[in-house]
Structure formats: C-alpha cells, structure tokens
Amino acid sequence: MEKTVMMSERSTLTLPAKEITLYGGYDVLVCGGGPAGCAAAIAAARKGAKTLLIEANYALGGMSTLGMVPTWCPFSDKEKIIYRGIAEEIFLAGKKTTPHVPASQLDWVPIDPEALKVIYDELLFEAGAKVLFGTFLCGALQENGTVTAVLAANKNGLCAYQAKVYIDCTGDADLAYYAGVPCINGDGNGHTQAATHCFELGGVNDRAYLTGPRLHNSNPQSPIHAIVQSGAYKELDDVHFCQSLIRPQTVGFNAGHLFNVDSTDAFSVSEAMRKGRKKAETYCRALHDYCPEAFGNAYVSETAPLMGIRESRRVIGDYVLTKDDYIARRSFPDEIGRNSYYLDIHMSDEEKKATGHKSLRYEKGESHGIPYRCLTPKGITNLLVAGRSISTDRAVQGSTRVMPVCLVTGQAAGTAAALCSEDKPNVHSLDITLLRETLRQDGAYFL
C-alpha cells in the first residue's frame, strides 16, 4: 500500500522588520533560466541593456537540460523552420552535439543536456548578460502598477534586485503572481495537465534499440502496452512512452504521467519527485524483462533534478490567445512569432472526455501567430511574461507551452524589454512596428 504523506499544519508568522541588501542599476531583470529566460536575457543583452538573469538552480536550460526532456519538439511546420532567431541558433548549436542525427532532421531532434548547458552558458556570457545561479525568487514589490524590486534568496541571504523592466520566465508566472497580476492555475479548479519526470538509461545496446520494435506508445506493438496491461509494475499505470538515443548506449525517456501535481506548491512537487524516481527504476526493470536484447544491461544513469511540469499558472494579458485563434490559423498585426505545434493535451481519459479537449494538428505549412499582447500582463507597466505562462486559454497552452515556442516568446520579451528600458518603461505602449522590425532584423519569423 502507498503510504499517505501528511502535510504540515499551516498558520502565519509575522517577521520583524529588517533591512536587506538591494542590488540595482539593471535595465532588464529576467527571472528564470529555462529556454524562455535564456532567450530573453540573450536578446536584451545583445541590444545593449544591462541584464541580470536569476535562476533557482545551478545550470541554465530548464526543461531542455535539468528537466532532461530527451528531444526538441518540432522546429518546422513540415516545410521549413519557423522558430527562428535565437531559437534556431540554440537548436542548431545543440544539434551539432548529436552527430548521429541526420542533418535534414528538423523535428524531434534528440538533446544532449550536458552539451546544451554549456551552449547556454556561452551564449549568455558572450551577450554580456549576468547570470546569478542558486537564486530563488520569493516575492515582488509593486507600487501603483509598477514592479519596484523582486525578492530572492540565495547564499547571500534574502536580497532584493531592481531593474527598469522585469521579465517573468519562471514557468509558473511566479513573479507576475507576486506582483498581483490576475492568473489562472490550470482549469481554475485545481486540475492541471499531468507532469512527467524524465530520466536516462545507460548501458543500452544501441543496435538492438535502433533495430527493434518502435517503443513509442503510438506503435500498437510497443512493449509498453503489454507492460502496463500486465499489472506487474504497479508504478506504471499509463502508456505515455517517448524516448530517444541521446548519446552512445544512453536513451533519454519522457515517459509516464504523474497526475495532480501542483507546481506552485512545494509539498506537491516534492512528493512527485519521489514518485518520479521510483517510476524510473520500475521502467528500467520492466524493459529488462520485455526488451532484454536492448535493455538487458541497462541501468538508471540519471533522473532529472527538475520535474517536468506542463501546466500551472497562466497570466491574463492584454490578449488571450484562444482555441478559435488556433483553429483559424489566425495572424495578428502585433505578432512576434509563429507556432505550428499541435494541441498536445496530457490529461486522463476521464478529464479529456469531461473537457472535450482534443489533440488537434495542422497540415503541412500551417501555423498561427503569437501576439505581443500575450506577453503583456494586465495591470503592470514594466513586466513582461515569456514561456509557458503567457496569456492563452487552457487548450492553446497545450501547444504554446513547448520549448521552441518558449524560445521565441523569450526573444520577443527580451527585445521588447531592452527597447522599453531606453525610456520610461511601459510595455503596453511599446511601438509595435519598431519591435517587429527589430525582431525581423534579428532573424525572427512571423507574417
């Protein structure tokens, strides 16, 4: 029987007044160092803005490195790369570190997370952005619709950091939420898409893995169906099963679901990490049994230090991108990028039936625009949001949450922040023509 984990009692405590160190003088402050945050900091710094990026962990890249997602979601619309600019730059740099991948392959390209960490480090360093690792955002100060500082904790204790313009790339809209921006968490009633804890198996027989049955759950002959149906592996209760050869004898897995994980609650995420590590060990044992030629000598070489969260808070911005916009392949006068990824909804069958969510897909060459107004949260003059928590409805978030889109919205937010920081910042009144011209000059793609 699974043990019930008791939550601690909750009450309140008033802290005594205390002066803390304030670090200021920055033009742009980026919170969160995942794909969106990295692209935002690179873009802002390349435009000459004095840029600080704070990251809770000790490496950049978020889900593409610490989250150990084994492959990039598609970078093309099945005709051409549409996630361009800094997104394409990072994608191609990372692709050079996986020489076993064909040069023509643009979709579902494997990621070597250790190599990608260095790529992010070098790009931010070369751009001139300052990175502060081990710095956990824990609050924001706001006056009359303007963020005046953020609060964060690190080895220097509780500190404050100040800039002209702030960019929330936390994934959970933490900064926006602390600043009082209206947000929706999942469906607003506690339901979010399932999480996944990624991992790697070493000691894999490459030849047997590559020539054996396709393991993805979309293959009816994949052993994952028999593994789950057998009931012999109690931690494995669904057939979600994506994986790729990352490097010789090492396969990365984005497999299984963890339901009811609230990434805005520390207790919930902590329990999910424990369950995720147990799942990884069980997958390895099951593959020993069902695929001995490929996995007979395999072992869990690493589990991700970051939980794979698909959905949490979304901000309410000046525009909310909707499922109707997606279906209409809509373009916008203020769009800053395009997206062609399908509506990838990770819910239980019961919730899919209750909500009516379906995994809609585009045809070759089709895409929709992403308006700048999805990056501008209501009520705050000097705050932008990039990444999975931009302003969309819940269905579209199943598409815009993925890493290529995060890179695109990150570059747009970083560029906008740099342009705003040159004057009294108001992200809502930025000259859209200037922003789009600047982005286009820097390689971005939109209509």
Place of tokens 């990624």: 198
Amino acid letter for position 126: E
Per-residue pLDDT at 1: 45
- CA 422-428-434 angle, to 5 degrees, is 55
Residues written for the chain: 447
CA atoms within 13 A of residue 46's CA, in its CB half-sphere: 21
Res 372 pLDDT > 60: yes
The CB-side HSE value for 413 (13 A sphere, CA atoms) comes to: 36
Q: Which long-range contacts (CB under 8 A, 24 or more apart) does 285-291 make?
A: 285/233, 286/227, 286/232, 286/233, 286/236, 287/201, 287/223, 290/223, 290/226, 290/227, 291/208, 291/212, 291/215, 291/223
Closest to 32 (Cα-Cα) out of 5, 6, 67: 67
Q: Using alpha carbons, select from 192, 229, 189 the residue that is nearest to residue 347.
A: 192
The sign of the dihedral angle between the CA atoms of 319, 320, 321, 323 is negative
What percent of the chain clears pLDDT 70, i.e. is strictly above it? 98
Query: CA 377, CA 361: separation in Å to the nearest integer?
Result: 28
Quickly state the pLDDT bin for 3 (edges 50, 70, 90).
low
What is 236-280 written as a DSSP string?
Answer: --S--EEEEEEETTEEEEEE--B-S--TT-HHHHHHHHHHHHHHH
Can you tell me the mean pLDDT for 142-164? 97
- The confidence score (pLDDT) of residue 6 equals 54
What is the pLDDT, as a whole number, of residue 367? Answer: 98
pLDDT at 321 exceeding the cut of 50:
yes
Under DSSP, the state recorded for 427 is G
Q: Is the pLDDT of residue 336 over 90?
A: yes
pLDDT of residue 5: 55
Q: How far is CA 32 from CA 5, 125, 131, 361, 373, in A?
A: 30, 16, 10, 30, 21
Element (H, E) at 168: strand 157-168
Distance CA 48, CA 43 (A): 9
421 Cβ partners below 8 Å, 6+ apart? 27, 28, 44, 49, 163, 164, 165
Q: Which helix (H) or strand (E) holds 202?
A: strand 199-202
Name which of 15-19, 116-120, 220-224, 336-340 the model is least confident about.
15-19
Average pLDDT over every residue of 239-244: 97
